[in-house]
Structure 1
Amino acid sequence: MYKPTERNAQNSLAMMNYAYDTSLQETMILTEAFHTDRVICDNGSLYKFIWVQEGKLTLIVDHVEIEMEQDEIISVSNLHRTEFKNVSGRYLALLFNENFYGIYKHEKEVSCSGVLFNGTSGIVHLRLPIADSELLHEVVDRMVTEYILRDNLQGEMLRLLLKRFIILCTRLARKQLSGFPVNEKGFDIIQRYYVLVDNHFKEKKQVQAYAALLHRSPKTLSNLFAAYGMPSPLKIIQERVVTEAKRLLLHTSHSIKEISVILGFESVGTFSRFFKNMTGENTSAYRKRLQ
């Protein structure tokens, strides 16, 4: 069972709240008060890990309610809007921006984009076994130590520790998302597919286009995703497009026609039919209901 260091045990009653910011706009934040800080909540550049330490937490991510309990953790990309509906206990939020740690820049080292962070509406929600919880607590303890030291190596040390945290969560996600021992090659293709969809969904909306980029046939991809119990390749594209459509409808003043152009649809009618098929309501009704 994890035991806090003496320093952290002494400070356990105090609210954890540490921030690293530089003139290069590099940001990494470790806080138990994310929900009370309007500036941080409104910062659309932050990737987020939210980890329940005690009790329960209710979040709303892109208008989808998520219930969390002790030793559950979610990873949320900078594209998702996150709101706290109810905090009944303690949680820890680890936040960082692309300038501090580039997800795609470090993809070959960490391989977390497409697993922990992608732009779809599907949020990675993990249950931490005791051993994994202990390892993540140890990393957080070391982060706190580095925040306190404040020497000229602080930024690099925090980056290394964040990388360690991400690797541990990525390993756990690969196990839990597959539901059985992971075939590294197969799971790597799934990750790469998610990354490609994130990068190209506005101009590429057919599985064939992504299959060609991955040097696989569409049928091979469909069989692979089915074997892992994942949504179909086409469903992933559609979910990414409709998720972006919802964000543009709710958080911008763009007209329906402008949004259809931004998302690469041939006409506003095609976009409207797609949105209705995916959500069950038309674009105007959706915007009016939730804005």
Structure 2
Amino acid sequence: MEYHLSTKLNGNIAMTSCFHENSFLQRDGSLYKFIWVRHGTLDVEVDHVVMHLEKEEMISLTPLHHVQIRGVDGEYLTFLFNSNFYCIYGHDSEVSCNGFLFNGSSRVMRLKLSPSQSARLDSIVDIFRGECEIQDNLQEEMLRIILKRFIITCTRIAREMFDVDPGRENTFDVIRQFYVLVDSHFKEKKQVQDYADMLCRSPKTISNLFSLYRLSSPLRVIHERVDAEAKRLLLYTGKSAKEISEILGFEDLATFSRFFKKMNKESLSEYRKREKRE
């Protein structure tokens, strides 16, 4: 199954079961992605880390993630869109996925769908397929509505996974906002206090909220976001370690080197050589 729509304002939405064979979509660095295994298994490399996905597992990825399909043994579906088609930042109040389903860390959201959850998403996919057959001036907006419904359904499934009941939505939104702020400011702000101030909360309150939902500590989230960006710059650009340390806001190369070794148990040069060799 393959469908792709480009709008006059450079918006793109696509659904395909052959993403690994579509070089055009693979080269497009602006796309958000849902990758959903329908049958069998799928090996996906995200930022040089291979994930083995099984039937009814789904991951959600941002344009920051470097993705390659390494092995297909079954059937999968990829749902893709860019910000020009639907901006999750501008419509956050509608879908509540920013900083939750989508964030810049290499620790991506991974959902295991129950039969009922899979059926809910299947019905949306069927509606999408039906709308693809209708060629009129209303199609673009209809596809946007269907995409929004798909995102909201995935957000609800993820909330169920984290036991976010209606009475705790406001507290969970603080966590989402924390992730969004980290994505925006991790290069210059590396302390929990910085983000707590922006959220008008105390660092202890933020830490307690992360503990409540069994998430990594807020400081770990900041460090993982910095580390993810460091790895992307090391692997996918020709920038030197010194240039990367400056981009990421470290006071000098030595400080950056210590941080990287603490996070990864190997030096910058060792990591780059090993990953390039593999």
Normalised to the residue count of structure 1, the TM-score between the two structures is 0.92
Structure 1 pair 180/112, CA: closer, same or farther in 2 (3 Å)?
closer
Aligned mates of 1:268, 1:55 — CA distance in 2: 45
Identical aligned residues as a percent: 53
For residue 27 of structure 1, the aligned residue among 3, 7, 12 is 12
Query: Cα deviations across residues 102-124 of structure 1 (Å, max 9, x unaligned)?
Result: 11011111110111000001111
1:105-144 matches, cutoff 5 A: 105-144=90-129
Question: Which of residues 200, 205, 209 is equivalent to 2:185?
Answer: 200
Equivalent of 1:233, from 198, 201, 218?
A: 218
| Equivalent residue, structure 1, for 2:144 | 159
Q: CA deviation at 1:39?
A: 2.2
Do 2:40 and 2:54's aligned partners in 1 also have CA atoms closer than 8 Å?
yes
1:89 corresponds to: 74
1:258 matches 2:210: no
| Counterpart residue number, 1:3 | none
Q: Report the Cα offset of residue 22 of structure 1.
A: 2.0
Give the SS at the match of 1:157. Answer: helix
Letter aligned with residue 91 of structure 1: Y
SS at match of 1:149: coil
Letter in 1 for 2:67: T
* Kept after mapping to 2: 8 A contact 1:20/1:147: no
After TM superposition, the structure 1 stretch with the greater mean CA deviation from structure 2, 247-256 or 65-74, is 65-74
One-letter amino acid matched to 2:61: V
Task: Determine whether 1:75 maps to 2:60.
Answer: yes
Secondary structure at 1:24 match in 2? coil
Per the alignment, residue 52 of structure 1 pairs with 37
CA distance in 1, matches of 2:205, 2:239: 38
CA contact (8 A) 1:47 1:77 kept: yes
Q: What's the offset of the Cα at 1:179?
A: 4.3
Q: Distance in 1 between the 2:181 and 2:92 partners?
A: 13
CA-to-aligned-CA distance 1:26-72 (integer Å, 9 cap, x gap): 10010001011122112211100011111111111111221111211
**Secondary structure of the corresponding residue to residue 253 of structure 1:** coil
| 2:88 match | 103
2:259 paired residue number: 274
Gaps (5+ residues) in structure 2?
none
Deviates more, 1:278-287 or 1:165-174: 278-287
Structure 1: 4+ residue segments shifted above 3 A: 179-182
CA distance in 1, matches of 2:43, 2:125: 23
Native 8 Å contact 1:115 1:174 kept in 2 = no
Give the aligned residue type for 1:76. Answer: L
Question: Contact 1:201 / 1:240 at 8 angstroms: preserved in 2?
Answer: yes
Q: Distance in 1 between matches of 2:142 and 2:107?
A: 31
Unaligned runs of 5+ in 1: 1-15
Post-superposition offset of 1:181 = 4.0
Q: Is 1:187 matched with 2:172? A: yes
Please provide the CA RMSD for this pair: 1.1
For this pair of structures, how many residues does the alignment match? Answer: 275
